[in-house]
Amino acid sequence: MSVGSRRGFLGVAGLAGAGIALGACGGSGGGGTKPRRGGTLRAAFPGAGAKETLDPHAQRQFVDIARHKALFDRLVDLDAALRPVPRLATRWEQRDDATVWRLTLRRAVFHDGHVLDADDVLYSLSRILDPKAADHLARTSLGVIDLAKCRAVGARTVELVLKRPNAELPSLLGMTGTAVVRKGYRDPSRPVGTGPFRFRSFQPGRAFAARRFDEHWDGAPYVDEVRILSAETEARGNAVQAGEVEYAHEMTPTFARLVRGNPRVRIVATPRSGAVGFVLKTDRPPFDDPDAALAMKLLADRRRLVEVVLGGRGEPGNDMYGLGYRYYPRGVAQRERDVAEARRLLRKAGALNTPVTLYTSTAADGFVDAAHLYARQAAEAGLRVQVSTGPPETYFTDLLDRGTIGSHRCGAMPIPTYISERLLTGAPQNVTAWERTDFDGAFARAQALVDEEERAPAYGRLLRTVRDAGGLVLWGHADWLNAVSARVHGVAPAPPNTVDWARFDTVWLG
Amino acid sequence: MLRYAARRVLLTGAQLVALAVATFLLTALLPGDAADTAFNEQAGPEQIARLRHEMGLDRPLAVRFASWAGGLLRGDLGTSYLGHRPVTAIIASSFGATATLALVTATILLPLALGLGLAMGLREGGRTDRVISAVTLALTAIPDFVLALALVAVFSLRLGWLPSAWVGVESGPALYVLPVAVLLARTVSHFSRQIRAGTRTALHAGYTVQARRLGVPRVPLVLRHVLPNAVVPGVQELARTGDQLIGGVLVVEAVFAIPGMATALIGAVQSRDVPTVQGLTLLLAAVALLLNLVADLVCRRLSPRTEVLR
């Protein structure tokens, strides 16, 4: 039997990302100056104390991920619409219905002079997938890779074999915790990567410094040095206003209002940086009845929630994750508030006279405010929602099995990843307790569709199913707010964890 | 005196042991453990359970305490659950900032409070007394964090004279100005009022009146008779000021993002990093207990009459 075209390497991706990257530069602001070399950029992120780590596979907080991004590269990254864009892999091709993938590597140099090869990639994957490393988060999503069957085809070509078909492999390789390390890398305190900056120093919970790496494959950074510092909200805000840092990550709408008109500070807002909402437990009364769940979606006054909780910095949500991202279904009517209908549904479900508890916490900005506002909105239909507040440190774990309604937020990630981590039977973050075997099967089938034209509507149908019958009340899509000093240029709006986010090699000081 | 000192030292030791047990139990009472807090919202129950096992947190409480206490007896404070650094390294890297802050504050505090207290006490009811009293009383009433934020708003954000926090600025004496000012505000107020009261009492005491009647000039009178008696209540107050400083440091380190022991402690409590919490609490408590011990002993030496009374 000859190897027919179906069995050949199909679906060359790769260059698709270039055009999008250019498109994203439009709103960077302060773009009047020409790029200039030199200087030290200081960026402040919310800190995580002793938890902070230089191990790029033990991803935890944004501050860690930003530091790893300076030192390391991934094979693939994600653009603002969460589409895979080439980084260390210049192209990828799949065959056998997306079970075998071939990745071509670019010529990239590690900070110690070694040239990236296929063995580094295979070593990195085996390190990420190490069964003994409980803190390697990407292990779950990359678990689809059958490591024993993967091989180096040449010095710069890797063949990855999957346990089951998955057309989303490129996106999975672009998630956090997937950095390519040097073969034999063991000691996280001596990071050697291919990233735009070369490691200088690190004090957990405090500071990190790295120097420009001139041989970076994407061109040398403009700034000589980047310092990524840990600081709490108040300190970040003060430091960027006082000119002690040039970049402050994750600022509140209140801060944005405070610095309006301040010539020294600019807010870089990234719309559609994830979703905020409530989760309803669909495995217990009253929300095991889809009517009761739908009523809760109809009760939310989304515009008011966006206005009050997000300070107007966001858009109303339509109970589907991923507005603005690849695969988000088009043409679904915006869900509007309908108190009378909600009341009718609640009565029909027999849920109107039983108070429900909304379990929330200060774990994220706006959670408690949103909970109280939503409780008031529910009261207009005669439903009593009691707000109870839990400890922030363990809230997200507690919520997995506690409560009937909870607070929810989710950063930017590809829609299939959101579904696989949150909406499948046995998924690690299944906060709505949404367990439907037909849904699971439909998702597995969708993921195996090689043709994107077929895959997109399949995912769209899944999102619509959850929108109508599931436990997600996604009332808003928040803007992500960073503050930068007026001296800083080239900061592109980008949802967290995408390619242009926390990217300091393309930034310059004026 | 010796017997008293021995008794106090033993008591201090017992207090430390009780504190170690209490801290351990209280940390255990907090909801969640280090495995729960490690991933934030990113991991599922399975992954958390695996990490919990890796950290040894699935062992019974008593076993965990015994293994920690056993290590302590060998001089080993254990290893942080997160980041896997030895607790001694965490203490070492955070001790410097806190100690410098405390020392600088104490160095300024003592002469300043003594001077202000004497100035107030010697001219009771005079203009100096009234002005200083008004300022110190006002400062006592302002919470540390409010004062800190106000100082930052004025001196960092508006005037741009001083750094707002230890974030982008590496080092230099300027970093200490605002934090030390906040720490001084309350302690100087308390301490100087104590000295003022002592001065007043000593000034009106029979022996001072008699000395004055005998024609002892004012300066020797103050130095030889008033001052030594005025500082006795002050020494006791000094130990309490030490406790206050430790409390104030918690606030000041948080507001100014100072990478000291308080910051490390707060972070460790939030992430349920028990070995680090234990190590830092014990050290801070030891310092506080030691201060009180020394103050008690010094007081007794300065004013032996309390011994007769006992």
Q: What is the DSSP string of A469-501?
A: HSSEEEEEEEPEEEEEETTEE------TTSTTT
Closest residue by Cα to residue A137 from A189, A197, A61, A70: A61
The whole model's pTM is what?
0.85
* Predicted local distance difference test score (pLDDT) of residue A16: 38
Residue B159: pLDDT over 70: yes
Phi, psi (rounded to 5 degrees) for A78:
-120, 140
Interface A-B, measured as beta-carbon pairs within 8 A, has a size of: 144
A408: CB partners within 8 A, 6+ apart: A275, A276, A277, A278, A279, A431, A472, A474
- For B39-43, what is the mean pLDDT? 70
Task: Identify the residue whose tokens are 């957990």.
Answer: A204
Measured between alpha carbons, how far is A124 from A109 in angstroms, rounded to an integer? 16
For residue B247, pLDDT beyond 90:
no
pLDDT category, B309, cuts 50, 70, 90?
A: very low
Rounded Cα–Cα distance for residues A258 and A23 (Å) = 30
Substitution target from B27, B41, B152, B157 for chain A, most A beta carbons within 10 A: B41
Model confidence at A278, pLDDT cuts 50, 70, 90, reads very high
Q: What is the pLDDT of residues A191-223, one digit of tens each?
A: 999 999 999 999 888 899 999 999 999 999 999
Q: How confident is the model at residue A482 (pLDDT cuts 50, 70, 90)?
A: very high
Residue pair A32/A509 in contact by the 8 Å Cβ criterion? no
Cα R_g (chain A), whole angstroms:
23
**pLDDT, tens digit (0-9, with 9 covering 90-100), for A10-61:** 334 333 333 333 333 333 444 457 899 999 999 999 988 888 889 999 877 8
Evaluate the omega torsion of the peptide bond into residue A495 and state whether it is cis, within 30 degrees of 0.
no
Could you give phi then psi for residue A420, rounded to 5 degrees?
Answer: -70, -25
B144 in contact with A at a CB cutoff of 8 Å?
no
| DSSP summary character for residue A25 | G
CB contact under 8 A, A244 and B41: no
- What are the structural domains of chain A? 3-55+62-70+195-270+482-509 (3.40.190.10), 76-172 (3.90.76.10), 275-478 (3.10.105.10)
ipTM of this predicted complex?
Answer: 0.77
Distance from CA of B152 to the nearest CA of A (A): 8
Which DSSP category does A35 fall into?
P
Beta-carbon separation of B46 and A397 below 8 A: no
A225 touches chain B (CB under 8 A): no
User: What confidence category does residue A446 fall into, taking pLDDT thresholds of 50, 70 and 90?
Assistant: very high
Closest alpha carbon to B107 in B183, B27, B164, B43:
B183
Test A235 with B41 for CB contact under 8 angstroms: no
- A435 interfaces chain B, CB cutoff of 8 Å: no
- What is the rounded average pLDDT for all residues in chain B? 83
Q: Which residue type does A306 have? A: V
Contacts of A323 (CB under 8 A, 6+ apart): A272, A275, A315, A317, A477
pLDDT of residue A18: 37
Which among A50, A137, A393 has the least Cβ separation from residue B276?
A50
Q: Please judge whether A235 and B256 are an interchain contact, meaning their C-beta atoms are less than 8 angstroms apart.
A: yes
Q: How much of chain A is in helix, strand and coil states, percent to nearest 5?
A: 30, 20, 50
The single-letter DSSP state of residue A282 is T
- Higher-confidence residue: A378 or B291? A378
Q: How far is CA A379 from CA A340, B11, B155, B213, in A?
A: 12, 58, 47, 81
The DSSP bridge pattern shows strands A356-361 and A385-390 to be: parallel
The answer to whether A49 and B271 are in contact (CB under 8 A) is yes
Work out the minimum CA distance from A13 to partner chain B, whole angstroms.
Answer: 29
Tokens of A143: 């678990």
Nearest to B83 among A53, A235, A363 (CB): A53
Assess whether pLDDT exceeds 60 at residue A132. yes
